Amino acid sequence: PLEWKALENGQRPTVPAKPRGWVISLVPTQLERLLGNEAAVAWLQTFQIIFLGGAPAWPSLLAAAAAQRLPISLGYGMTETAAMVSALRPAEFLAGLRSNGPAMPHATVRIGDGERISIGGPSLFRGYYPAARPAEPFITQDRGRVDEHGHLHVLGRADAVIITGGEKVDPVELEGVLRATGQFPDVVVLGLPDHRWGQQVVAVYPGNAHPNFHEVIRATNRLADYKRPKRFV
């Protein structure tokens, strides 16, 4: 186990050589911070696999990781599935694929009504204590699709879609556009109640940030009008 703050501050242990190499697991924000340090990038390049999960990774982050030839494995899973149920091989990532990979041997991943991801397999949880759940596939609140190669693509949360003026906005897509501007250390897109539109698209970012909104507006102007944030908080 590694302590994140120590790792971020440069205390990166030398991992001893072993035949099948080492793996490390990061969340996107951790990867973004390490990519800003040349020595940290060189350290990450020594790993066999870098599992990336815990939150959606934005396109510009993945492009930067690929440019450094980092062996990223994009996966999909959750506590209820005992971690990953699908994973992309690093060689596939470096070849340009950006899916969450095919289902792992122990699991089945299917798409049901409303594009919701359904998971089956022996690693599924037994229920939320003290209640037990039936031994049947677990229908998640995540939306996805499976392509012709059997690779899962996670599209976002079914329960997080913002409906504004009758149009659907995926907050993950918009967060990716905003993060790619490099103006926000973190950003979350919310749908807040609005008497006219039903929900208003609002972007929330840390109060100590100083974004250049000329750059932000330039990026969001490429989106359909209903997808653009109406407020920044």
- Each residue's pLDDT tens digit, 201-223: 999 999 999 999 999 999 999 99
- pLDDT beyond 90 at 48: yes
- pLDDT beyond 90 at 161: no
For all residues of the chain together, what is the average pLDDT? 94
SS (H, E, C) 7-36: HHCCCCCCCCCCCCCCEEEECHHHHHHHHC
* CA 199 to centroid of chain Cα atoms: 24
Is 52 exposed, middle or buried (CB count within 10 Å of its CB: 0-12, 13-18, 19+)? buried
pLDDT band at 197 (very low <50, low <70, confident <90, very high): confident
pLDDT at position 58 is 83
pLDDT band at 138 (very low <50, low <70, confident <90, very high): very high
Select from 106, 94, 111, 112 the least CA-distant residue to 151: 111
Quick one: tokens of 200? 């208003």
Question: Quick one: average pLDDT of 45-68?
Answer: 92
pLDDT band at 157 (very low <50, low <70, confident <90, very high): confident
Quick one: tokens of 34? 């390490």
pLDDT at position 93 is 98
- pLDDT beyond 90 at 160: no
